[in-house]
Amino acid sequence: LPGLHVFAIAFALEVSVGKTNTVMALNNSNVLLPCTFSTCIGFQDLVFTWYFNSTELIYHGKIKNKASEPTVIRHNPRVEFVGSTTKKDNNISIVLNNVEFSDAGKYTCHVKNPMERNAQHNATIFLTVVHKMVETDNTVTLIIVGVVGGLIGLLILFMLIKRVVLFIIKKLQDGKKECLVSSSGNDNTENGLAGSKAEQKAPPKA
């Protein structure tokens, strides 16, 4: 039924490695491989496993319930568990110590929850090992930002100039209209038309 399907999805097991699934580490350093899981109905005898390149098991643990911390079943000597499941986040992250170039590859965090009819879910991290961290060259980015900012500034300046020019043109047009009205009145006076000063002269005596 559709309702039961939505209900099942709402209580599904979820596993996450964070916002990004890529990690870069220096050779001979220690690197954190994050992983958390969530389930709305809780868990019982939950099992989690970390794999390297999908086949090599590097950490295997079990969690009895929310009130207990994980117990180690099997792990690689260079792998250290740094998570906690009694706190708010069900954190099952690990640290890989003394990273080597051969450690570069895919790391999968797999979780199985018997309380959800053995529901299983996993998430993957890709590790890159380098000689040294290379600083990102932001020159191109800065140039692009500068050009875009300059174009925006020119556009604003153009709009301001346009407004000023339109204002000046309007003022000039208003001034021309006043001049035309004024000159029209002067012409009537000079030609002796009705309403002009010429009509105000006294009639000649007989």
The rounded distance, in Å, linking the Cα atoms of 26 and 49 is: 25
> Among all chains, which residue has been given the structure tokens 């004024």?
182
Q: Is the pLDDT of residue 14 over 60?
A: yes
> Each residue of 24-78: pLDDT tens digit?
999 999 999 999 999 988 899 999 999 999 999 999 999 999 999 999 999 999 9
Q: How far is CA 36 from the centre of its chain?
A: 22
Q: Which residue has the higher pLDDT, 42 or 201?
A: 42
Q: Which amino acid, one-letter code, is at 66?
A: K
> Each residue of 138-195: pLDDT tens digit?
677 778 888 888 889 888 988 889 888 888 888 887 776 665 655 555 554 444 445 4
81: how many CB neighbours lie within 10 A of its CB?
19
Q: Which CATH code, of 3.40.50.150, 3.20.20.60, 1.10.10.10, 2.60.40.10, is assigned to 14-130?
A: 2.60.40.10
pTM of the model: 0.61
Instruction: Please give the structure tokens belonging to residue 202.
Output: 């006294």
Q: Of the segments 83-87, 169-173, 199-203, which one has the largest average pLDDT value?
A: 83-87
